[in-house]
Chain A
Amino acid sequence: MKNFILRRLLQTVPMLLFASLIIFMLFAKTPGDFIDGNVTLTAARAAELKAIYGLDRPLLWRYLHWLGQLLRGDLGFSLQYQIPVSQLLNQYIWNSFLLASIALLFYWGIGLTAGVISAMRPGSLFDYLLSVVVFAAMSFPTFFLCLLLIKWFAVDLHWLPVGGMTNTGSDETGWAWVVQVAAHLVLPVLALVMLQAGSLTRYFRASMLDVVKMDFIRTARAKGLRERTVIFRHALRNALLPVITLLGFELPGLFSGAIITEKVFNWPGAGHIHLDSLAARDYPVLMGFTLFLAVLTILGNLLADVLYAWADPRIRVK
């Protein structure tokens, strides 16, 4: 097991290097930068600023400099906000985490329950209706669903706030603040749950159906166990095995911020900052953030592999 983890960790090093190179080249080669975007600057002042930020140096030097900074844990300095990128991310990432983790709890719960129930009676009315709902959920463009939710629940019915995290200009603290944030969370969470629960339900259902066909389930039934025991004690535990890997893949999504959902609901999270920095051409933020996400993706894959190997000893032998 230790060897397995170590080997996988070593594999991630070249991946990270290449990913950093691609990300750097992408932003370095994008025409126009933060300073070019500011038309009020004179040519001399612009050149001076470029020299300060090292933008006039050769590409290779800039890449190595950036990499050196990264190795020391320095993600760079935001040109737009004039604070370190890590500090900026720290301010916003937790809002994304709040939104994504609450949504995750809900859609995993819903996906698991619905998937197992429909797998218990494949071909039933519930199974059929569920598959209709799942297809509908998988086919909604994210932004359209968000817009519809806002239109119905916020604009027409006035039940919930339109967007943001707190009311404009509010300085509530304590319990009142929690209630206010919760009210603002309802719609984005609903949108994320509706979009994600569909494919997860399908996955759980398929995994459960695969297990139910196996011989040991027939044995369990032949022993005369109650159906509930067969499903929950014997089948479900095995059906959960392949699903564990999915949990690892969720890792980057918890912090990346659902870019479109956050934009439509004006949620002050990492996804929102992402689009903001893009408009301002604040490349250090974008580069730092994209690399951070790449690291999380690689870690998530690693976590998925390790979790799977831990849960299913057959994998380790390979």
Chain B
Amino acid sequence: MLSTLFSTRRLRKAIIPTMANVTPSPWHLAWRALRHNPPAMLSLALLIIMALWCVVGPYWSPWQNDATDALMVNKAPGAAHWLGTDFLGRDVYTRLLLAGRISLMIGLMTMLLSVALGYLLGALAGYRGGITDKLLMRLADLVMTIPSLPLLIVAGAMLSELDFSAESRVYMVVIMLSLLEWPKLARLVRGQILSLRERDFMLATQVLGLSSRRRLFRHLLPNTVPLLIVMATMAVANAILTESALSYLGLGVVPPTPSWGNMMDAANSLIDFQRRPWLWMPPGIAIFLTVIAINVLGDGLRDALDPKMKPGLK
């Protein structure tokens, strides 16, 4: 008893680190909240499995990338070809995985590019204010004024005319999608920054006399990260959906590069559509599963990172 009284200093030294472990960081709290959200965890697992499957699967497939087989044309699913073959005798299952690589990659790359662009410009507009803000927001309005699908369709047609190689089309699609996606993200980030700027903790940093760089990078921007993560997740789903629509119309990723969208082009031929659902059903289901998983995960992330962001649920 007496000894504990005398050794308070040592005791405190011992307790403080453990206290730090007991009080979890916001990231820890968010992860804990996400872990207790079964639909979101299920979605995360599904996405990881799908991505791994698409990357690794083709190596284990007995069928080559673009190996055609004139004797095995338009075969229904069976033991040899799990999802059947297409009009060139290519294995649909292998192509589905390869297309998954492309579609997921386009989703991720578009997310990276559009979020980088939108975040940078939105933060700039929100933080600098004044003429920068006015110009950037007018630009964003302008891009949003022109209907996006028609614009994408024209841009896609332009790409076809310019004779890009099939591989570089993938990157062009990413750039096209990003250029149309950033204004929405920029507006969100700007709004967030504007509201954060007025909060008391930002006033406190000013009172403390912190440098503007430190205020921006240590205090203002880190608070936008939760929004950024949620936005980025939803952006992937959006990009995958738009890419598939564009490729379905033959204006996005073009054959021989497979993508989930252009595989569904098979449905444009009446006989394939009616008699050979194995050609166009699997990619459609793959897109659907991916997008719904991303949406559910995004929703879970929003709840986990900042319950206040979800309107109406507190």
Query: When chains A and B are docked, how far (Å) is the Cα of A144 from the Cα of B149?
Result: 17
- Known interface pairs A31-B158, A274-B150, A297-B147. Does A139 touch B295 (Cβ–Cβ under 8 Å)? yes
User: Does the CB pair A286–B154 fall under 8 Å?
Assistant: yes
- Known interface pairs A32-B161, A139-B288, A205-B312. Does A15 touch B145 (Cβ–Cβ under 8 Å)? yes
Q: List 15 A-B contacts (CB under 8 A).
A: A26-B151, A30-B161, A31-B158, A122-B313, A141-B241, A143-B248, A143-B264, A144-B284, A147-B267, A147-B284, A148-B284, A206-B310, A208-B312, A289-B150, A297-B145
Contact residues in A for B314 (Cβ distance below 8 Å): 213
Q: Is B58 in contact with chain A by the CB < 8 A criterion?
A: no
Contact residues in B for A30 (Cβ distance below 8 Å): 154, 157-158, 161
Binds B, one of A16-24, A58-66, A218-226: A16-24
User: Does the CB pair B142–A19 fall under 8 Å?
Assistant: yes
> Could you list which residues of chain B lie within 8 angstroms of chain A, going by C-beta atoms?
138, 141-142, 144-147, 149-151, 153-155, 157-158, 161-162, 237, 241, 244-245, 248-249, 261, 264, 267, 273-274, 277, 280, 284, 287-288, 291-292, 295-296, 299, 310-314
User: Does the CB pair A209–B142 fall under 8 Å?
Assistant: no
Contact residues in B for A144 (Cβ distance below 8 Å): 264, 284, 287-288
User: Does the CB pair B150–A136 fall under 8 Å?
Assistant: no
Return the 5 tightest CB-CB contacts between A and B, nearest first: A209-B312, A139-B292, A144-B284, A139-B291, A206-B311
Query: When chains A and B are docked, how far (Å) is the Cα of A29 from the Cα of B141?
Result: 23
Query: When chains A and B are docked, how far (Å) is the Cα of A155 from the Cα of B277?
Result: 12
User: Does the CB pair B157–A141 fall under 8 Å?
Assistant: no
Query: When chains A and B are docked, how far (Å) is the Cα of A289 from the Cα of B248?
Result: 22
User: Does the CB pair B142–A135 fall under 8 Å?
Assistant: no
Interface flags, A37-75, vs B, CB<8A=1, else 0: 000000000000000000000000000000000000000
Binds B, one of A82-90, A176-184, A252-260, A308-316: A252-260
Checking A27, A119, A138, A139 against B154 with a beta-carbon cut-off of 8 angstroms, the contacting residue is: A27
**What would 8 more interface pairs be, CB under 8 Å, given A138-B295, A141-B241?**
A15-B138, A136-B288, A147-B273, A155-B274, A207-B312, A209-B313, A286-B154, A294-B145
User: Does the CB pair B245–A141 fall under 8 Å?
Assistant: yes
- Known interface pairs A141-B241, A144-B288, A260-B249. Does A290 touch B150 (Cβ–Cβ under 8 Å)? yes
Q: Is A275 in contact with chain B by the CB < 8 A criterion?
A: yes
User: Does the CB pair B142–A18 fall under 8 Å?
Assistant: yes
Interface on chain A toward B: helix, strand, loop, or mixed SS?
helix
Query: When chains A and B are docked, how far (Å) is the Cα of A234 from the Cα of B261?
Result: 47
- Known interface pairs A15-B142, A144-B284. Does A293 touch B150 (Cβ–Cβ under 8 Å)? yes
Q: Give A88 Cβ to nearest chain B Cβ, in Å.
A: 16
Q: Is A278 in contact with chain B by the CB < 8 A criterion?
A: yes
Query: When chains A and B are docked, how far (Å) is the Cα of A207 from the Cα of B313?
Result: 10
Contact residues in A for B248 (Cβ distance below 8 Å): 141, 143, 260
Query: When chains A and B are docked, how far (Å) is the Cα of A30 from the Cα of B155?
Result: 8
Q: Is A172 in contact with chain B by the CB < 8 A criterion?
A: no
- Known interface pairs A140-B288, A155-B274, A263-B249. Does A147 touch B161 (Cβ–Cβ under 8 Å)? no
Q: Give B242 Cβ to nearest chain A Cβ, in Å.
A: 9
User: Does the CB pair B288–A141 fall under 8 Å?
Assistant: yes
User: Does the CB pair A260–B153 fall under 8 Å?
Assistant: no
Query: When chains A and B are docked, how far (Å) is the Cα of A289 from the Cα of B151?
Result: 11
Query: When chains A and B are docked, how far (Å) is the Cα of A119 from the Cα of B284?
Result: 32
Query: Closest chain A residue to B153 by CB distance?
Result: A278
Q: Give A103 Cβ to nearest chain B Cβ, in Å.
A: 17
Query: Closest chain B residue to A279 by CB distance?
Result: B157
Q: Give A110 Cβ to nearest chain B Cβ, in Å.
A: 19
User: Does the CB pair A210–B312 fall under 8 Å?
Assistant: yes
Q: Give B233 Cβ to nearest chain A Cβ, in Å.
A: 13
- Known interface pairs A139-B237, A147-B284, A205-B312. Does A256 touch B273 (Cβ–Cβ under 8 Å)? no
Query: When chains A and B are docked, how far (Å) is the Cα of A22 from the Cα of B158?
Result: 15
Checking B162, B237, B295 against A31 with a beta-carbon cut-off of 8 angstroms, the contacting residue is: B162
User: Does the CB pair B311–A210 fall under 8 Å?
Assistant: yes
User: Does the CB pair B311–A207 fall under 8 Å?
Assistant: yes
Q: Give B281 Cβ to nearest chain A Cβ, in Å.
A: 8
User: Does the CB pair A26–B154 fall under 8 Å?
Assistant: yes
Contact residues in A for B291 (Cβ distance below 8 Å): 138-141
Query: When chains A and B are docked, how far (Å) is the Cα of A286 from the Cα of B151?
Result: 10
Q: Give B223 Cβ to nearest chain A Cβ, in Å.
A: 22
Contact residues in B for A31 (Cβ distance below 8 Å): 158, 161-162
